[in-house]
Structure 1
């Protein structure tokens, strides 16, 4: 088995010149060992052979490392590191809107509507909730709120103010 061939299994074309390479998709990098520096720069598009098809990779950044290959897996002494973006896959990706519009409108003093999908966030502090329920003539609401405030988890979140809030009911 030829382990050197496994080090650079991909074939890429830079300016119609064929090179062996290693592509790391998660990092968006292509490593290309070379002897004479390829003519490649930011904005160029290189081509990777993938079976019978081709993948076009747009170059976002370039780094030439003299002696960078350490002759591991190759006879070429230098290493070209390309940071790339797969431009072949772009039309197939689900696009998320890059122009996000936030619609913010006040519904009342305690309510606020934010977002593109008309989601509504209701913000009220616990003290205001207790005051409004205490003013009401709804014994069930008072009882449920008192049970909530007496809960040990709720009490630990609210802190020392929980007993003062319970006394308001």
Structure 2
């Protein structure tokens, strides 16, 4: 696989242009790099598409040493960013919409057995936001369930051991 097929996109981070693979559907940007670029959560990076540019806000940063495996690049390391497009937000938000986070939603009463067999509505709630909301609540059952989930080796591997450790610490306080 050559560089044009492995890393077809261009992103700009802190004034530096990088070859990358942007998967807009999953909100992921992967880029090989010689060392960890200076990017953190909340930063806005730019994807160049022809003569147009799209702004992407960084939601999560995952630096993987030797993660590129040298496929289509001489750089061994891989930076994977979870991003959200910000270019279209001005067009999609209703007038007067605030960018502040919505207040926590009150917990609904326990569902009856009949209601629990129905599919739950789709949610865009991120795991970190769920952990934060549960940590601030007084629901010990939910905290215990989330701790058990984060203690699972498969979940910890997917979330990342450092992230899972931080989430467990937040739930225990």
Could you tell me the TM-score, scaled by structure 1's length? 0.53
Report the structure number with the largest CA radius of gyration. Answer: 1
Matches within 5 A, 1:20-169: 20-93=19-92
Change (3 A) 1:90 1:34: same
Which has the larger helix fraction? 2
**Larger RCO, structure (CA 8 Å, separation 6 or more):** 2
Q: What are the ranges of 5 or more consecutive residues in structure 1 without an aligned counterpart?
A: 100-169
Per-residue CA shift, 1:6-43, capped at 9, x if unaligned? 11111111000010000011110000110121100000
Structure number with the higher strand fraction is: 1
CA distance, structure 2, for counterparts of residue 21 and residue 4 of structure 1: 9
Contact 2:2–2:71 under 8 Å retained in 1: no
Partner of 1:92: helix, strand, or coil? helix
Quote the Cα distance in structure 1 between the aligned partners of 2:50 and 2:14. 20
Mark the runs of 5 or more structure 2 residues left unpaired by the alignment. 104-173
TM superposition shift of 1:90: 1.3
Structure 2: distance between partners of 1:33 and 1:7 = 10
**Secondary structure in 1 matching 2:90:** helix
Counterpart residue number, 2:169:
none
Structure 1: 4+ residue segments shifted above 3 A: none
CA-CA distance at 1:93 after TM superposition? 2.5
Cα distance in 1 for residues equivalent to 2:28 and 2:62 = 11
Question: Aligned equivalents of 1:25 and 1:54: distance in 2?
Answer: 14
- Taking the aligned partners of 1:32 and 1:15, their CA distance within structure 2 comes to 14
